[in-house]
Amino acid sequence: MVEAAKHRVPPAARILPGSIFYGWYIAVACALLMLVGVGVGYYGLPVFLGALEDKHGWSNTQVSVAPAIYFTVSGLTAVVVGPMIDRRGPLGFMTVGMVLNGVSATFIGLVNQLWLLYLVYFVFAVAFGMSAGVAVNAIMTRWFVRRRALAMSVSSTGVSLGGVILAPVASRLIDVGGLELATPVLGGLVLVVGLPVVLGVIVFDPAHMNLPPDGDPTPITPNTTPAAANQYRTWKRKEAMRTVGFWAIFIAFLLVLVAQTGYIIHQVSFLEDRLGSRSEAAFTLSVTALGSILARLVVGIFADGIDKRLLTFGLFVVQATAILLIVYIDNVLSTWVLTLIFGFTIGNVYMMQSLLVGEIFGMLSFGSIFGLISMAGQVGSGLGPIGVGFLHDQTDGYTIPFTVTAAVTYAAALAILFARPSRAPNPEDSSETGARTMATVSVDAGS
């Protein structure tokens, strides 16, 4: 373990009980950040979609360009900030990102022209790329190794809570006062919750508090096991891109997030007629998110001890099958049940993306590698809604678009089977390289 350089001790570390490993406070803090950041940015999109169409008379395809911009630009932002997070830590990016997140969310309901909507979503996307996925997962990968899946299941729960809490709140606010009321309220919530958490709780690396990962009395070192050696290995992007594991994860999550996000963004519009109202259809997002919370916490308990590649394969297959059954079984009760089953998979899909990257490429280069992988997923998330919107307009319905998304998900399941770690480096070399890198990060993060 590298001796910590001088770092700011956050106020929470002086107040919270020291009998609990501080990493668990970090996990809960990250859950709160994901609740407001992703809850408004991700689960707000399908609620805003129909309201924007109704308010301005824009087509499904035109409005779907906005979330496409959101996901694509946020992915590109992650590619840029990922390596810088590895070197200097994420706190500066997260602070600026949270401010931009809240401000841009506020302006979604105030625009009256398409180009302005696209501009706002561009800024919204940059904010998300700076403050959410790469930053949060890089933090959790540093703080936990042995219990990483469980810790990430806690931090990722905030994403799903955003759907359980904020999706129906957004829908209700739109019903009461339109987008002009809903988006400023939600944007203000991002600022009120996000900034105090970033500035008052978050610490990038346990070494900055003289703590080992997981809080273990005898922490792992690069010499412990081949898997541990891989955690302390440093990767260059070109080196990672020469591995089969990188491309298996890249392609699999590109495909699955094309399908998953394409379905979720259009879920409310699709189910509105079947369930009778927009509010009830919007509540399916809460059911989806609730299923995500329950399944993620369960999976987090045992995922550290099983083959994550095979677990991911199973999740993909279940998700594709659930979408097909929702589309082709026009029954209200089965719709609710299958929506819950679909929800069991979605949160775990994102968590498994982080866990696979962390397992194969380790903690020291996580931001750099995950930035690329995240870009694929975000670009896929951007293509999905606009592709489904286009097919909907061409076929006058959702049957064909959602059948295509299911087929794409099955293809992703096959691709992820190739996501195996590369040969572990020589432990002694890894130890020396890892120590140098951790020392560099420690010094840079304190500057």
pLDDT (0 to 100) of residue 222? 54
Rama region for 10: left / alpha / beta (φ>0; ψ in -120 to 50; rest): beta
pLDDT (0 to 100) of residue 221? 57
- Given a contact cutoff of 8 angstroms between Cβ atoms, the answer to whether 61 and 54 are in contact is no
What b/e string do you get for 302-317 counting C-beta neighbours within 10 Å, with b at 16 or more?
ebbeeebbebbbebbb
Kindly report the number of other CB atoms within 10 A of residue 59's CB atom.
11
pLDDT (0 to 100) of residue 159? 78
pLDDT (0 to 100) of residue 37? 83
pLDDT (0 to 100) of residue 437? 42
Sign of the alpha-carbon dihedral angle for 410, 352, 134, 444: negative
pLDDT (0 to 100) of residue 435? 44
Residue ranges of the chain whose pLDDT lies below 50: 1-5, 426-447
Burial class (CB in 10 A: 0-12, 13-18, 19+), 407: middle
Domains, the chain: 11-445 (1.20.1250.20)
- Write the pLDDT tens digit of every residue in 136-147: 989 998 999 888
pLDDT (0 to 100) of residue 145? 85
Distance CA 253, CA 276 (A): 33
Radius of gyration for the alpha carbons in the chain, expressed in angstroms and rounded: 21
pLDDT (0 to 100) of residue 131? 85
- Given a contact cutoff of 8 angstroms between Cβ atoms, the answer to whether 139 and 29 are in contact is no
pLDDT (0 to 100) of residue 432? 44
| pTM of the complete model | 0.76
